[in-house]
Structure 1
């Protein structure tokens, strides 16, 4: 007898044929129509979409849910957000960081997001947030895969203690090397930080995820150096450039050179649509730049492009519920990716592409993958993007983690009662 069978599932990325998904010992062991088997738990998906869990490739767990401390970001700019965060940091304690992180993780589970890569600010001599979030990593492990990036928010060279603190954070067990080259005092320092951080990662056998060129300045070109150093240190496929918003403002000739360099390095690209379009272009009058990196062109060139939520109710962003379908939906709108294949690509940007960027093992909807599954009240990926529907079931290693009743609205139309679910057939 199996532990779980989800019957009559429409499999994300698969054909229209309904299948049954059999799970045992936390793994998917069978996917086929009309599976002849019994299970301790059977759930009839009723033709609804079943997906591997959502993946948030870029987040800031230490800052989440601090909106309004000590005040809100009135200008809406990245730099005011950084200044506000500098004021918030001295007021934090471990209990507060952990309480907010656990609350956010429960929101994530409710939305079917079971993997998160979070940057943690290491520019604090006590490494308070590092220690607190490393505890959270272990505490949420039964429910969510949480990766931490050692992030020198105040600049790897700009902050005189950052190099020592970043190494200490890695020694404590932080998983990924981070950076922010465009925030250094000069382009030269930014390039030097890329080299130093990539070498550090190569020496330790770690991945890299760098806030890179999060700027409206088309001359912010640190991603070129990131691609070069990725190849030089043999880190292909293990390095992510996050944000890359300056690419939105670069001239097309330079980009025609840059994208092949990025592809040669197998650079992972992480866009953050909600935050990129909120923070960028703030100095423009009209026309206003959108700010999001060239997602469509990067995907067309064969690069793995994932998307992150980045922020939820913090000094940089005053909204959000950590719903990755909202992220993908915003990305397809801003990137003008409304073709059928393009919309499915955007669904992948918050699922399989994110898993690839994070290096997750045994992720997916195939036999031999972890039985981490999300049942959505939609018939396919495009309908899920349109409706951002209820997550009817969320399973972690084959065990029920979250559930929501099917959502309908009754409209009283004269003498008729109409049940509305917003489906398009």
Structure 2
């Protein structure tokens, strides 16, 4: 394959020659193989969605209060009633939708406090089913807490034994501060035993007294787990005293923890108990970046008990993030694309990522010739290329199991 007239993020204009799934060289002589003319538009690396819940996708049940806690209550009532076939159908629809819009790497949390582990079994099957179009990492997520109910700790262990990629946790949902701390240590012990990464929901609350990120950082350093730990949401950071943030953020950076805000859902769920002014409820991205913390973004939800909207487009997530944290200067806008590309690759971690000779040929041919317009219009890519193969076109078509098919916006 030859992609000619490609404009890269650093301003270079190149012709990209791909052979055997690898970027072989730039500006090679045009040949008779498949040729895509980028027409001087941006060609960029595909997106990472570093925090998502595939098991609950496309379950648009009304959350009247709009709070995180009502969403959890609704989910608890329905999760045990879901069949494996239903989960698989909804999840594959969502994965295709995300791939068509440029996302090739999806880290999903699956609730393993559902005692039959039906949701996990479904996700393990989907991971294998869709591997030609997307890579999925599964975090075993104890939604109801590790120590809130007898046996949840064993379910988490069983999920890891069955093949989940990461150990999850939710310390702010444990009954006491002490149990929250104990849950973090349990997660690290389990991750160490099975050589897994730690990927937690951390401090997802407006409560300024929720400060489990500091405990996560302590155990990351103690267990020498730098670069293997992610902290999702951390919305309480928005409400922390500035002096406390000033003290704790350098420690988080030293621990090499990736923080994963979820702007669409954080701004929807948080601040629900405020009158006016309302808190935005998102961890401060600029402040974390200035302290040397790796920050990547997640989409979190699509049409589920926590969020009634969502399309799977990571540019929508980025668009919300740059507005909430006022990242609108030229330098900030130019940097922002890293939040859904290179920073995600670092947290995954994904080697051979990026448009350079010798790397895997994973690319997006966009419809815009500059980053500002890509952010303004948030259009899906004209071509999604995975391993040197076109897997999606125009946000509408996807190549799945040997044939082209129309991308569905929701299951039918």
Q: TM-score range by the shorter chain?
A: over 0.9
1:165-204 matches, cutoff 5 A: 165-204=155-194
CA distance in 2, matches of 1:188, 1:312: 33
Report the TM-score, using the length of structure 1 for normalisation: 0.91
CA distance in 1, matches of 2:377, 2:72: 34
Which residue does 1:402 correspond to in 2? Answer: 392
Residue in structure 2 matching 1:11, options 4, 8, 11? 8
Residue in structure 2 matching 1:353, options 323, 343, 347? 343
Q: Which has the higher contact order (CA 8 A, sep 6+)?
A: 2
Structure 2 contact 141–168 (Cα < 8 Å) conserved: yes
Instruction: Verify: 1:51 aligned to 2:48, yes or no.
Output: no
Distance verdict in 2 for CA 1:22–1:202, change over 3 Å: same
Deviation at 1:327?
A: 0.1
CA distance in 2, matches of 1:259, 1:147: 27
CA distance in 2, matches of 1:203, 1:164: 14
Residue in structure 1 matching 2:364, options 343, 366, 374? 374
Deviations 1:41-88 (A, max 9, x none): 0111001111111110000000001112xxx10110000000110111
1:54-65 matches, cutoff 5 A: 54-65=47-58
Tell me, what secondary structure is at the counterpart of 2:33? strand
Consecutive unaligned residues in structure 2, runs of 5 or more = 397-412
Deviation at 1:405?
A: 9.0
1:300-315 matches, cutoff 5 A: 300-315=290-305
Deviations 1:198-223 (A, max 9, x none): 12112221111100000000110000
1:64-75 matches, cutoff 5 A: 64-68=57-61, 72-75=62-65
379-388 vs 176-185, which deviates more? Answer: 379-388
Residue in structure 2 matching 1:29, options 7, 18, 24? 24
CA distance in 2, matches of 1:178, 1:151: 5
Q: What's the C-alpha RMSD, in Å, of the aligned pairs?
A: 1.2
1:226-265 matches, cutoff 5 A: 226-265=216-255
Structure 1 contact 156–193 (Cα < 8 Å) conserved: yes
CA distance in 2, matches of 1:180, 1:405: 35
CA distance in 2, matches of 1:151, 1:90: 15
Structure 2 contact 170–200 (Cα < 8 Å) conserved: yes
Deviations 1:231-250 (A, max 9, x none): 00010011001101000000
Deviations 1:328-364 (A, max 9, x none): 0100000011012212222111111111111123222
CA distance in 1, matches of 2:223, 2:370: 41
176-185 vs 199-208, which deviates more? Answer: 199-208
Structure 1 contact 329–346 (Cα < 8 Å) conserved: no
CA distance in 1, matches of 2:8, 2:2: 14
Instruction: Verify: 1:129 aligned to 2:119, yes or no.
Output: yes
Deviations 1:390-424 (A, max 9, x none): 31111111111111299xxxxxxxxxxxxxxxxxx
Deviations 1:158-177 (A, max 9, x none): 12221111111111110001
Structure 1 contact 202–234 (Cα < 8 Å) conserved: no
Structure 1 contact 48–378 (Cα < 8 Å) conserved: yes
Runs of 4+ aligned residues of structure 1 deviating over 4 Å after TM superposition are: none
Structure 2 contact 100–395 (Cα < 8 Å) conserved: no
Deviations 1:72-111 (A, max 9, x none): 1011000000011011112200000000010001101110
Q: Which has the larger radius of gyration?
A: 1
Which residue does 1:384 correspond to in 2? Answer: 374
Structure 2 contact 270–279 (Cα < 8 Å) conserved: yes
